[in-house]
Structure 1
Amino acid sequence: MQTVTDSAGWAELMAAPALRLDAPPPSASTYLSGVRVDSSGYFRAAISGLEALREGPDGLSDSDISDSLALMGPEGPVELGMKGDSVWAKLPGFSADESGPWLLRHPSGTDTLVFRGVEANTPPVPVEPAERFADRAGHFSLRFAPRPVRLDTAMCSGTVVMEGDTAALSPALFRLVENRLDVGPFPPGASVSLMVEPGGIQGEEGLSTDTLEWRLSVRVPSDYGAIQLVLDSAAHASDGAVIWLLLNSSGAPTAHEVDAEGRFNQLLPGRYRVVMVQDENGDGRWSGARPAKGLHPEPVLRWASEVDVRAGWEVEIAPEFHPRP
């Protein structure tokens, strides 16, 4: 990371090119796309290029990226939301005739927001595809925009089917978590139907107008696999802490963490990679070369490059490298 001051006077942290284990590092570059605003001042856009910053053992976390973003308006900083590559905000004092300037800082620079048109204000609507399966915690979650401010649970309903028996869902399972509708938890193996009637979700400028319905299934433990690391503690002893990273087939880090027994649990079938980082300075992440301190990059070791996980199976893997005697 390095500090750079641009022509707009922003002092910002710029990311070094992301390290990949199997390819030359890409050049990190981000830019805005899909910039839109409605008559209420609700702004949203996408920041392209963030995936390159997230890749590899030294990839930036969502928290790192969020800290590098900022939105400045005529009256000062504006709260900015982020999920994936999407950003959004309510622009205070926005006017279609005259407002701004609005400056958005992102990892590669600072852009002035230019709105080529003002859309009609809309009530909260889903802005991502609904998943066909509940998440690992047995919940259904879906992002809405503009940001909902209230959920009328009296207009929410659903059913759970388990082994041929049907039961009604409690409205208390429906809740708003920031800009997401969250429902659950559901029991493993259940088939779930959810419905929110018109007017059930309220935004700052109006109520939802459509009947919203979803159907999903809940996985059972046998739908998942696991990876067990076979570690010879004497041969692979390290003076510092060790960080284990589980990467997907494209090399992007997953959210899975290794447990105390060296196991990655609740893995969907597919191909994975395992990487070990020797965290010599104990900061909880990979650190590159620090010439001013005479320090080399922290060692990154490919533990296993291709691990095929099957449902209901646990795969034991030994390292592909051998430490020096």
Structure 2
Amino acid sequence: MSNMFDLAIVGGGATGYTAAMYAGRLGLKVIIVAAEPGGLIVTVESIENFPGFKMISGYDLFTKIQEQARIYPIVEKSSTVLTAKTVADGNKAFFALQTNKDEIVSQTILLATGALHRKLPLPEIEKFEHRGVHYCALCDAFAYKQKIVAVVGAGDAAVREAIELAQVAKKVFLIARSSEIKAELVNRKRLEATAHIEVILNANIIKIIGDSHVKKIELDRPYEGQKKVTVDGIFLAIGRIPNTALAAQLGVALNSQGEIIIDRNSATNVPGVYAAGDVVDTHFKQLITGCAEGVTAVHHIFNYLVKHPI
């Protein structure tokens, strides 16, 4: 098939574009497909643990990775992949991806589909999304100048969101269901040194109150004698849900958390299907490890293609 790609990368974040760069360098015919490029990294204000940069915004770092990948003859398609299936051709097989625009066929697939923001399990949550409920301080902090906001979470992401919001908000509540803040020491120290942040531990939001916009939250335990707390906005930083719909269609094995199970080669249980980044079952999820998983996948995809020519 003249229109068949060697590799189709699904996902346009840093992991996907790093893999595309390496595939291009190896001379593979590669396409990267994403509804929009960037992924969650572009919402990060400051990255301080990526080699080569003391500090850089997520958007700027992604742009540099994307520009470097574009040095090589990769194909980029702005589409949403709706379905994925294996197509048998005699004793050989390839993959067909149906997008909202056309069909893509490829000998191998790299799933770099990332993860979605985890939401609070409240019936009213979607009603208030973008009406007071947000997932990105970098994107939406400007709307809360001299206002009161709540950040939900106990990890590094939540602490960073709280610190960023404290630069513009009148007051920030950091609400954690755990008994302690679990961020790295450097971020805990920054939290302690930042004014206008108040930490509420061992608490859950059980209700969001408002009409066309968030006005209050209700906690499952009293804060200063009251369960209802007035806030103008809520920023959620409670983790992510791996985006594995396509993996399930292909018969790719998932773990109990819904993450794609990969081996040391970034290969899944389905021959020709690889995965990398936030969607996989590695315990340590960082930008640099996701990129490394993508590079590892491409190396083994190259060998797979040599052994399984079509």
Fold shared per TM-score above 0.5: no
Structure number, greater radius of gyration: 1
TM-score (normalizing by structure 2)? 0.24
Structure with the larger helix share: 2
Structure with the larger strand share: 1
TM-score (normalizing by structure 1)? 0.23
Looking at both structures, which has the greater relative contact order when contacts are Cα pairs under 8 Å and sequence separation is at least 6?
2
